[in-house]
């Protein structure tokens, strides 16, 4: 249903909102994430429900009447390659990675762990170039 340009805009905006912490993805089962935004639900899941790629972004229009079911709108199956906005499927794996990290509280967890380490030793960690500290 959506054109390539529309998919690119939707995936790009979802990624932007996710990275900025303006939307929160929720884990659903072992391999799916979802977020409700306006009248739509966006779901990122494994195509085969095995928690392995390829990831699928599904858009569902939520019903405003409890007697009517939600309506499937469209889905986009991700592909692994360099991210190119003219190929929206290439944007799905990156969105899934960011949504998964944010759903687990990745940024806060990293900050908490670093704070604990700084309590033990407040000096800055060494900077690395390749595999060698300099």
Kindly report, residue by residue over 58-85, the tens digit of the pLDDT: 999 999 888 889 999 999 999 999 999 8
Residue 121 lies in a domain: no
Residue-level pLDDT at 87 = 96
Report yes or no on 27 lying in a domain.
yes
Residue 48: its pLDDT value, please? 86
Task: Provide the Cα torsion 73, 49, 97, 63; round to 10°.
Answer: 30
Do 25 and 32 meet the contact criterion of CB atoms below 8 Å apart? no
Q: Please report whether residue 132 resides in a domain.
A: no
* Domain with 73 in it: 4-116
Between CA 95 and CA 55 the distance in angstroms is 10
- 30 located within any domain: yes
Residue 130's pLDDT is 66
Q: Report pLDDT for 91.
A: 97
In the chain, which residues have pLDDT < 50? none
Give how many domains the chain has, as a whole number.
1
Helical spans, DSSP H, in 1-126: 4-19, 92-103, 106-120
75, two tokens: 């889905």
- d(C-alpha 58, C-alpha 35), whole Å: 11
Has residue 29 been placed in a domain? yes
How high is the pLDDT of residue 126?
Answer: 73
Q: Does 68 reside within a domain?
A: yes
User: Whole-angstrom Cα distance, residue 93 to residue 70?
Assistant: 25
- Among 100, 125, 82, 77, smallest CA distance to 24 is for 100
């Amino acid at each position: 249903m959506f054109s390539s340009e529309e998919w690119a805009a939707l995936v790009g905006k979802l990624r932007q909102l996710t990275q900025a912490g303006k939307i929160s993805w929720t884990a659903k089962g072992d391999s799916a994430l979802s977020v409700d935004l306006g009248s739509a639900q966006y779901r990122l899941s494994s195509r085969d429900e095995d928690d392995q790629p390829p990831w699928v972004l599904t858009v569902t229009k939520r019903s405003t009447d409890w007697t009517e079911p939600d309506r499937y709108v469209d889905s986009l199956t991700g592909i692994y390659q360099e991210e190119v906005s003219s190929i929206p499927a290439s944007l799905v794996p990156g969105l899934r990675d960011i949504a998964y990290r944010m759903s687990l509280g990745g940024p806060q967890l990293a900050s908490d762990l670093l704070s604990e380490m700084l309590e033990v030793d407040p000096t800055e960690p060494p900077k690395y170039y390749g595999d060698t500290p300099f």
